[in-house]
């Protein structure tokens, strides 16, 4: 039986991929030995889809996750060229998110950490410890973006697996659309030149901090009410009730972010129709 796509070796060498990346970055014609990016795109599409299918087929119920549906995608040529030009020292074959998988779930921060650890352990069984690394981005220092990434190196190539809570995901989706309108530099700490754009970015960054505080508080209440031995049973019940009450506050935040996403999406579509 043939290996699944993630465990197959690509039909080009690292030097061939490096040559393609240099040509894309510099806007020149790739040398004859380099693969066409459409070929690379098809390879990474199959590869990332296989990684997602593998993860979705595993049992995550011990973490309280009934299922882990997600999405997969290869990097588009436009965003790839932007990244190659922004970081000219990184060759194409070393870009960690050339293949990407994203899994969003209704989970606490502690479960998110355990989920990342479990995903990493599963992949280490296939590719070894040295080829898997967990990157915790929940500090908000990446322009408000918060998630836990599992960075992997399969025989097929590198793949970035993004694990996000519902709130982290909703915020990131809205912010990505905002970047399409006011400029993608906001994803890397930049600010729009116009005042309305700056105001929107500042508001979104504040919303990210508010979400971080909200999720942190819920996580502490969940920990104390379920697993902590430092409180008695009566106190645990009070904390559980407080957790359930505070958890209800998640829904209006999600609605607000989804409403913003739809408004921003309408603006993006309008820009494209003009």
- Dihedral sign from CA coordinates of 97, 124, 45, 72: negative
What pLDDT score was predicted for residue 144?
94
CB atoms within 10 A of CB 73: 16
- C-alpha closest to that of 260 among 144, 184, 181: 181
Over the stretch 133-184, which tens digit does the pLDDT of each residue have?
Answer: 999 999 978 899 999 999 999 999 999 999 999 999 999 999 999 999 999 8
CB atoms within 10 A of CB 65: 17
Among 43-57, 81-95, 230-244, which is the least confidently predicted range?
Answer: 230-244
- C-alpha closest to that of 151 among 103, 99, 91: 99
Residues contacting residue 151 through CB under 8 Å, at least 6 positions apart: 96, 132, 133, 134, 135, 158, 160, 161
- Torsion, Cα of 203, 205, 206, 211 (10° steps): 120
What pLDDT score was predicted for residue 236?
79
Place of tokens 């066409």: 36
Please answer whether residues 159 and 51 qualify as being in contact, where contact means their C-beta atoms are separated by less than 8 angstroms. yes
What pLDDT score was predicted for residue 66?
72
Q: Average per-residue pLDDT in the chain?
A: 91
What pLDDT score was predicted for residue 67?
63
H or E element that contains 104: strand 99-105
> Is 0.85 topped by the overall pTM?
yes
Using a pLDDT cut of 70, give the percent of the chain over it: 95
CATH number corresponding to 5-165: 3.30.460.10
d(C-alpha 159, C-alpha 3), whole Å? 17
Q: pLDDT band at residue 273, thresholds of 50, 70 and 90?
A: very low
What pLDDT score was predicted for residue 87?
86
Question: Which sequence spans correspond to the domains of the chain?
Answer: 5-165, 169-273
Q: Which residue has the higher pLDDT, 145 or 83?
A: 145
d(C-alpha 213, C-alpha 242), whole Å? 16
- Dihedral sign from CA coordinates of 190, 195, 200, 203: positive
Over the stretch 34-52, which tens digit does the pLDDT of each residue have?
Answer: 898 889 999 999 999 999 9
Q: Is the pLDDT of residue 75 over 90?
A: no
What pLDDT score was predicted for residue 234?
84
Burial 28-41 (b: 16+ CB within 10 A, else e): eebeeebbebeebb
Helices (H) and strands (E) in the chain, counts: 8, 5
Q: Which of 71-80, 173-182, 234-243 has the highest mean pLDDT?
A: 173-182
> At what angle are helices 166-182 and 250-273 packed, to 10 degrees?
30
What pLDDT score was predicted for residue 270?
78
Q: pLDDT band at residue 120, thresholds of 50, 70 and 90?
A: very high
Over the stretch 184-226, which tens digit does the pLDDT of each residue have?
Answer: 899 989 999 999 999 999 999 999 999 999 999 999 988 887 7
H or E element that contains 149: strand 148-154
H or E element that contains 120: helix 109-127
């Amino acid at each position: 039986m043939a290996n699944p796509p993630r465990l197959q070796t690509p039909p080009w060498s690292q030097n061939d991929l490096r040559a393609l990346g240099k040509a894309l970055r510099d806007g020149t014609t790739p040398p004859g030995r380099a693969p066409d990016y459409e070929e690379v795109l098809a390879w990474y599409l199959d590869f990332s889809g296989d990684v997602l299918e593998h993860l979705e087929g595993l049992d995550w119920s011990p973490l309280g996750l009934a299922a882990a549906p997600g999405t997969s995608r290869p990097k588009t040529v436009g965003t790839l060229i932007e990244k190659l030009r922004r970081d000219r020292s990184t060759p194409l074959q070393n870009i960690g998110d050339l293949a990407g998988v994203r899994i969003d779930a209704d989970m606490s921060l502690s479960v998110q950490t355990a989920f990342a650890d479990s995903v990493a352990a599963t992949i280490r069984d296939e590719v070894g410890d040295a080829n898997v690394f967990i990157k915790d981005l929940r500090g908000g220092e990446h322009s408000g973006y918060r998630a836990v990434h599992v960075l992997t190196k399969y025989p097929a190539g590198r793949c970035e697996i993004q694990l996000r809570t519902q709130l982290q995901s909703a915020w990131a989706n809205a912010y990505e659309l905002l970047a399409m309108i006011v400029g993608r530099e906001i994803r890397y700490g930049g600010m729009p030149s116009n005042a309305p754009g700056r105001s929107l970015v500042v508001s979104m960054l504040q919303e990210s901090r508010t979400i971080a505080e909200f999720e942190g508080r819920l996580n502490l209440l969940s920990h104390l009410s379920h697993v902590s031995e430092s409180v008695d049973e009566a106190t645990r019940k009070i904390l559980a009730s407080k957790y359930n009450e505070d958890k209800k506050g998640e829904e209006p935040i999600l609605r607000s972010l989804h409403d913003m996403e739809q408004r921003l999406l309408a603006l993006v579509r309008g820009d494209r129709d003009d």
